[in-house]
Each structure stands twice: as C-alpha cells, then as structure tokens.
Amino acid sequence: MRFGLPAMGLYSYHEFPLKVRVSPMVGESDKAINALELLLRMKQILRSCFAKRTSIVRMFGLLALLSSPSLAYGQHTAAGSKAPWEFSAQAYWYLLPQDSGDDFLLPILYADRGAWHFEGRYNYEELHTATFFVGRKFGFGDKVSIELVPMLGGFVGDIDGIAPGLEMDFAWNRFELYTEGEYVWDLEDTENNFFYLWSELSWHARDWIRLGLVGQRTRAYQTDLDIQRGLVTEATLRERFRLGVWWFNPGTSDSFVSLGFGIDF
C-alpha cells in the first residue's frame, strides 16, 4: 500500500542503468552461479507452498532460507562490505462511515538491505491478520525507470495462508505509476482465496508533493464496489516524514478517508 518509499527507489528521480541492479561480483560466472542458486531455492519454495501439508511455520522457514547469506549477493558493495540496513514505517488510519464499521489502524514496517526487501503488515489484506513478505528488487531503464519486486509472504490471523506477490514502479519525468498485487491462498478454507490490489498514478507537482489517483481491492474494508477508487495527496517533509490523505469513492454513500503517516529511520 505504501507509495514512495525511498528505500525502494520510489519518489526519487534516479536513473537506473539499463541492466538488472545487483551488486558487482568477481566475474560473470559467479553471477550465473548465484542466479541459478536463487532460482533453485525459489523452485523449492513454490513446490512446498502447493504441498497438501504446508504449514505457516514451514512457510516462514522457507522464507528465511530464501534470504540466507549464501544467496544474498545483492547485500555486498563493490568493496566487499555488507550493505547497511534501511528501515521505514508507515501507518494508515481508516476513517469509515458511521454505519460501516469501526475505524481501524493499518501499520506497516519496511526493511531493506541491498537488493533484499522485507515487509511486516497488520490489517492489510484482512482485518486482524498479520503478514510478512520477503522479496528482491530489480531495476531497469534510463529515461523511463522500472523497478520490480517479486515477493512471497505468509499470513497469520483471520487468514492463515500464503501469498505470492509483485510490486512494480514505473517512473517517467514527474509521472509515476505504482502498483502491487498478490494472490492470497487461505490454507484452511479455499473459498477465502482472493486477489489483492493497490495501485496509484501520481504527478509530482514539486519534489516534496504529489497528486494522483488511487485504487484498491481488499477485504479489510468492503463496499458494493469491487474496487475502491479515489484521490491521493501526499507531502514529504524534511526528506524523511510523509503525510498524506487518501479519499476513496468520493461522491458516493461509500465515501471514506484514510490518513497516512510515514517516517524513514
């Protein structure tokens, strides 16, 4: 749901080189070997996810396996030292119509190290549900920059399950399109499976403020509309604080507001 996390390269106008952004290695053979190992681990994870007896505990073990140091070759700089950790936090306060349920808080924690990206969320896809995701960042492009973050996550709470997902960011000049999607598998009841979506199209009027359109498909709050849509305004203060307003379904009886607060540590 977050848009403009500096650690992910959003909100900035850096020009990515026309290649996958991974840290330099000793030789091309080392890159190929590490990439092959990563693909093999991903294959192992996907097989386990579809196994009949997959459990949440096993899922988190596989996530830890994927992020093991032997595969995290993006965590090292050219000088061979480890890349530093970067942390951010975001919170959304959903102010719902009086007859539509209680207001709720949606907190998110982000951690990045090199090309690796981690997220912890609560009340995100579903109320009373905690989620954890691990993914890897890939960047492409020059004048038009593209960042892709394939992720894999687990759920504990009203939903106990797993979800593969993808975060994408496209930037050109002062325009930016951010979208994320994931398919949620409930391991206890397949009727609860659903596709989650959050997408924003923004214009950066200034370096510190953006205006745009937003759409989401979630189970945390549902209306007669399958996709909630609306307007967004967000400002960045002192390069580390973010304040925003998301106005969903304006002009309808299902209209509601979400206030966002973010900080980079």
User: How far apart, in whole angstroms, are the C-alpha atoms of residue 79 and residue 54?
Assistant: 40
User: How far apart, in whole angstroms, are the C-alpha atoms of residue 159 and residue 127?
Assistant: 9
Confirm whether 1 is domain-assigned: no
CATH of the domain at 182: 2.40.160.40
Helices (H), 164-236: none
What pLDDT sits at residue 56?
Answer: 46
Residues near 27 by beta carbon (within 8 Å), at least 6 away in sequence? none
Q: Among residues of the chain, what percentage have pLDDT more than 90? A: 60
Least confident interval from 7-21, 58-72, 126-140, 243-257: 7-21
Report residue 138's pLDDT band, with 50, 70 and 90 as the boundaries.
Answer: very high
User: How far apart, in whole angstroms, are the C-alpha atoms of residue 25 and residue 256?
Assistant: 50
Residue at 33: amino acid letter: I
Residues near 21 by beta carbon (within 8 Å), at least 6 away in sequence? 115, 137, 138, 139
Quick one: which of 241, 169, 175 has its CA closest to 198?
169
Confirm whether 252 is domain-assigned: yes
What pLDDT sits at residue 123?
Answer: 95
Quick one: which of 219, 186, 181 has its CA closest to 200?
181
What's the rounded mean pLDDT across residues 227-244? 96
Asked whether the predicted pLDDT for residue 77 surpasses 70, the reply is: no
Asked whether the predicted pLDDT for residue 235 surpasses 50, the reply is: yes
Please answer whether residues 158 and 188 qualify as being in contact, where contact means their C-beta atoms are separated by less than 8 angstroms.
no
Least confident interval from 34-38, 121-125, 132-136, 193-197: 34-38
What pLDDT sits at residue 69?
Answer: 46
Confirm whether 241 is domain-assigned: yes
User: How far apart, in whole angstroms, are the C-alpha atoms of residue 240 and residue 48?
Assistant: 39
What pLDDT sits at residue 15?
Answer: 35
Residues near 113 by beta carbon (within 8 Å), at least 6 away in sequence? 72, 75, 82, 83, 84, 85, 86
What pLDDT sits at residue 150?
Answer: 98
Select the more confidently predicted residue: 190 or 11: 190
Q: Which long-range contacts (CB under 8 A, 24 or more apart) does 231-235 make?
A: 232/3, 232/200, 232/202, 233/209, 234/3, 234/4, 234/209, 234/210, 234/260, 235/208, 235/209
Average pLDDT value for the chain: 80
pLDDT in tens, 9-46: 333 333 333 333 443 444 555 545 555 565 556 555 54
What is the domain range of residue 121? 6-264
What's the rounded mean pLDDT across residues 253-258? 93
Least confident interval from 2-6, 98-102, 205-209: 2-6
Select the more confidently predicted residue: 70 or 111: 111
- Burial 138-165, CB ≥16 within 10 A → b, else e: bbebeeebebbbebbbbbeeebbbbbbb
Asked whether the predicted pLDDT for residue 79 surpasses 60, the reply is: no
What pLDDT sits at residue 224?
Answer: 83
User: How far apart, in whole angstroms, are the C-alpha atoms of residue 9 and residue 7?
Assistant: 6
Please answer whether residues 167 and 148 qualify as being in contact, where contact means their C-beta atoms are separated by less than 8 angstroms.
yes
The number of domains in the chain is 1
Nearest 5°: CA angle at 215, between 213 and 221?
A: 135
- Burial 84-93, CB ≥16 within 10 A → b, else e: eebebebebe
Confirm whether 47 is domain-assigned: yes
Confirm whether 75 is domain-assigned: yes
Residue at 237: amino acid letter: L
Select the more confidently predicted residue: 72 or 205: 205
pLDDT in tens, 197-231: 999 999 999 999 999 999 999 998 888 889 999 99
What's the rounded mean pLDDT across residues 86-91? 98
User: How far apart, in whole angstroms, are the C-alpha atoms of residue 198 and residue 228?
Assistant: 9
What pLDDT sits at residue 17?
Answer: 36
